[in-house]
C-alpha cells in the first residue's frame, strides 16, 4: 500500500530523513515512535506529498509520490492525513469541514457528501455538532471532526501525525478510541505517536526512529517490552518512567 524506499530529505544542512525504508501493507496499523526531531512527521508529510524529498522514493499503490506531478492529487485522495493541530477550516461548520473534500476535490454531489458526512460524524461521536464551528468545539471534538474529514474521501489509508499531542490529557482518550475503532474496522493506518499504550494495543508493527533512520522495528509486544537496541531502551525508559 505505502512503500518508502531509502528516503532522503534535508532542510538546509540538516538531514532529517537519512535513507529510511518502511512498508505499510493493506489493513496494517504501523505506529512510528521516537524523539522529537527524529523525522517522524516529515516522513508522513513526504507520503502525502506535503514535502518534497531529494533521494529515494515513496510509492502509494505502486505510484511514485511527487508533489509536483499532476498525479499527486489522486494519491492524496487515496491517502489522507490527520494533523497534530487539527487544521480544520475555521470558517466552515463541522459538517462543511467534512464535505469540503468530497465535493471540491472528488466532485461528489452535495447530497451524497452530506449524507456520508453525517454518518462519519456519528461514527466519531459528534451527532448534533454538525452546525458547530471549530471555535465552538473542544480540542478532542475538533480532532474527531478532522478524522471524519480524512475518512470522507473514502481513503485506502490514513496518516496520523501526532493526533493527540496538542490535546488536554483528559481529551486524549476520546480521540484514541475513535482511532482504535477505525483500526478494528480494517483501515490501513500510519500513526506517529507518543501514546505507547495505543501503540501496544492497536499497532501491528512499531517502528522506532531516531535521527532520520529506523533504529529498530517489530511487533509491539517485542519492541515495546523487550527492545534490543540501547537507543530504543533508553527512549522507552524515559517515556514510560520519566521520573527515574
Partner 1 sequence: MSWAGFLRDGQQFLPILLQGVWVTIAVTLCALALATALGVVWALMRTSGKRWLEWPAMIFTNVIRGIPILVQLFYIYFVLPELGVDLNAFQAGVIGLGIAYSAYMGEVFRAGILAVDSGSIEAAESLGMSRARVLSRVVLPQAVRIVLPPYGNNLIMLLKDSSQASVITVAELSTQARLIASSTFKNQEVWTLAALLYLCLSIPLILLVAWLERRFGRR
Q: Which residues bind partner 1 (CB under 8 A)?
A: 48, 50, 72-77, 80-81, 83, 85-91, 100-101, 104-106, 133, 135, 146, 149-150, 153
* Collapsed DSSP state (helix, strand, coil) of residue 21: strand
Whose Cβ is closer to partner 1: residue 30's or residue 88's? 88
Q: Of 109 and 233, which CB lies nearer to partner 1 in the complex structure?
A: 109
The nearer residue to partner 1, 96 or 210, going by C-beta atoms, is 96
CB of 154 to partner 1, least distance (A): 12
**109 CB contacts (<8 Å, ≥6 apart)?**
103
Nearer to partner 1, 20 or 145 (CB): 145
Specify the residue, 98 or 172, whose C-beta has the smaller distance to partner 1.
Answer: 98
b/e sequence 102-141, b meaning 16+ C-beta within 10 Å: bbeeeebeeeebbebbbebbebbbbeebbebbbeebebbb
CB of 121 to partner 1, least distance (A): 17
Label residues 167-184 b or e (16+ Cβ within 10 Å = b).
beeebbebbbebbeebbe
Least distance from partner 1 to the Cβ atom of residue 218, Å: 29
The minimum distance between CB 225 and partner 1, in angstroms, equals 34
Strands (DSSP E) contained in 67-121 are 79-82
Amino acid at each position: 500500500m505505502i512503500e518508502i524506499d531509502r528516503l532522503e530529505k534535508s532542510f538546509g544542512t540538516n538531514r532529517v530523513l537519512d535513507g529510511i525504508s518502511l512498508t505499510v501493507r493493506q489493513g496494517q496499523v504501523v505506529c512510528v515512535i521516537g524523539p522529537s526531531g527524529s523525522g517522524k512527521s516529515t516522513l508522513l508529510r513526504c507520503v502525502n506529498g506535503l514535502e518534497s524529498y531529494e533521494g529515494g522514493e515513496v510509492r502509494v499503490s505502486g505510484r511514485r509520490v511527487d508533489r509536483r506531478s499532476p498525479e499527486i492529487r489522486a494519491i492524496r485522495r487515496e491517502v489522507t492525513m490527520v494533523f497534530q493541530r487539527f487544521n480544520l477550516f475555521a470558517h466552515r461548520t463541522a459538517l462543511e469541514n467534512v464535505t469540503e473534500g468530497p465535493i471540491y476535490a472528488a466532485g461528489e454531489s452535495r447530497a451524497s457528501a452530506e449524507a456520508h458526512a453525517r454518518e462519519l460524524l456519528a461514527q466519531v461521536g459528534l451527532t448534533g455538532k454538525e452546525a458547530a464551528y471549530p471555535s465552538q468545539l473542544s480540542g478532542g471534538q475538533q480532532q474527531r471532526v478532522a478524522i471524519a474529514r480524512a475518512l470522507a474521501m473514502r481513503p485506502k489509508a490514513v496518516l496520523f501525525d501526532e493526533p493527540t499531542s496538542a490535546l488536554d490529557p483528559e481529551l486524549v482518550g476520546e480521540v484514541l478510541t475513535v482511532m482504535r475503532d477505525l483500526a478494528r474496522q480494517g483501515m490501513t493506518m500510519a500513526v506517529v505517536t507518543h501514546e505507547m499504550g495505543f501503540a501496544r494495543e492497536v499497532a501491528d508493527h512499531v517502528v522506532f526512529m531516531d535521527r532520520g533512520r529506523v533504529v529498530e522495528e517489530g511487533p509491539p509486544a517485542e519492541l515495546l517490552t523487550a527492545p534490543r537496541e540501547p537507543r530504543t531502551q533508553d527512549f522507552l525508559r524515559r517515556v514510560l518512567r520519566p521520573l527515574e
